[in-house]
Amino acid sequence: MSDLCDRDAVRAHYGTVDPLALAKVQKRLDRHARAFIALSPFLVIASADGSGRADAAPRGDAPGFVSVRDDRTLLIPDRPGNNRVDTLSNVVENPNIGLLFFVPGLIETLRVNGRGRITAVPEVLAPMTVQGKPPLSALEVAIDEVFFHCGKALIRSGLWDAKRQMPRSDFPTLGRILADQIAEVDAAASDRDIESNYRTGLY
């Protein structure tokens, strides 16, 4: 077995695509996609910079935090974080992005591919205000394609299975990890700072 080094080799290895997998791709949001986004508290954004170096980042908030402006446009608020701005930096170099929406308890996911641009217009951000604070900016997504993804990955992973949840004590805290990775970081102090930020810095 050799490596699969081009599209033709990949296609030959996997065979023909299920016609339904092609036919399900939509160019705009229908009522099912809108309803899924309204229920979703979490998504992953995939982006790449101008050189093609890829990144995937989580976004989460109350269900429906992503605004549907119309059938071809979404708005994703950007809340306070660590100011790495990896996704936003990528988008200004390469607008092509992919979104993966999750709804807890549902095994299917929703995929949206399109082009992003960053807006900081106060009138656009104001409707996404939470606890008196608007987002720092918003990622406006022009949709190219949208489709539901089957639940095999979530079935195999048991993602929503409470019996598979790991006790927090079974994995090091983030403060402990940072202390192991970065010289002169104190684990206990770092954990206190992180917990404080979780309580007071979400918005």
Output the tens digit of pLDDT for each of the chain's 203 residues.
689 999 999 999 999 998 999 999 999 999 999 999 999 999 999 999 999 999 999 999 999 999 999 999 999 999 999 999 999 999 999 999 999 999 999 999 999 999 999 999 999 999 999 999 999 999 999 999 999 999 999 999 999 999 999 999 999 999 999 999 999 999 999 999 999 999 999 99
Hey, is 1 helix, strand or coil? coil
pLDDT of residue 75: 98
> Over the range 87-121, which residues count as b (16 or more CB within 10 Å of their CB) and which as e?
bbebbeebeebbbbbbbeeebebbbbbbebebeee
Element (H, E) at 70: strand 67-70
Ordered structural domains, the chain, with CATH: 14-157 (2.30.110.10), 166-200 (no CATH)
Query: Which tokens is 142 given?
Result: 């022009």
Tell me what pLDDT residue 152 has: 97
Contact 135, 78 (CB under 8 A): yes
Q: Closest by alpha carbon to 141, among 101, 189, 188, 201? A: 101
